[in-house]
Amino acid sequence: MQIENKKRVLVTGGAGFLGSHLCERLLADGCDVLCVDNFYSGLKGNVAHLLANPHFELMRHDVTFPLYVEVDEIYNLACPASPIYYQRDPVQTTKTSVHGAINMLGLAKRTKARILQASTSEVYGDPEVHPQQESYWGRVNPIGIRSCYDEGKRCAETLFFDYWRQYSLEIKVARIFNTYGPRMHPNDGRVVSNFIVQALQGKDITIYGDGSQTRSFCYVDDMITGLVHLMASPKKLVGPVNMGNPDEFTILELAEAVLTKVGGKSRLVMLPLPEDDPKQRKPDITLAKQQLAWEPDVKLEMGLEKTIEYFRRILIK
């Protein structure tokens, strides 16, 4: 009998939107994948199609508690990323980022595993610098309603770099900008899923503010490729590395693009802008281009078509 020597990879938050796509990609790349999720915002349905694969294992576990497994690499994606979910239990959100980072870094230290932190563009807050470069320290409200997520992720980055300096741990830090695609939760409150679901259901499209604020939208397949490239990069590249699509759109442009593709008679309705909502968001991905030879391929038009097709399918069920 031939003994398989597959790389053992742990994905925390593996049943979430990004995590499930990552698990899929790692299995396709020949890895043995342990998917860990507490199902606060992740869904078993996102990984149900992987359960029959003998190289995939699903474990219910909360990363705020230690985990004792043997792995070669860790992708730490655990943390609700949409305001609806992370503001529902802000204390737990902060714990997930901070205690979760401590526990996963401890596991990486014990097993000598390489570990990647899924950080966020939210560490830049409402930026004074545009586009945002990794050298920018950010402008974040430490006591606002979004702080549980923003500051939790900032603290996680601090912990990663302290473990790197103090213990020579092999770390990678990715700052993920707005990502969209199939398996987004229809009720997660994020702008792409909101607009598509509202348009498909013939409801008003709700725009917060006047629609002039900007975002950059990265299709999920491009993002997963970027994360895999970063994990495989030379040891000296620790990050942080911006990951996102530098094509910038106003929220109004996004709403109009969705309406054009979906059709129907939905109206655009303006509502007050939420507290601490950033006015601009665009990644400078020069570092990712130079060090990882990575940049997104999927244009918004094509990505929206694939995402609309997914939501059309699940909403009809």
Residues with catalytic roles = 149
Residue 61 corresponds to which tokens in the numbers above? 């576990």
Contact indicator for 121, 85 with CB cutoff of 8 Å = no
Contact indicator for 141, 124 with CB cutoff of 8 Å = no
Contact indicator for 212, 173 with CB cutoff of 8 Å = no
What residues have CB less than 8 Å from 94, skipping those under 6 apart?
148, 151, 152, 155
Asked if the bond preceding 240 is cis, omega within 30° of 0, the reply is yes
Cα torsion 61, 65, 69, 71 to 10°: value is: 90
Q: Cα–chain-centroid distance for residue 293?
A: 20
With CA atoms as reference, report the closest residue to 9 among 67, 62, 70. Answer: 70
With CA atoms as reference, report the closest residue to 124 among 208, 215, 18. Answer: 215
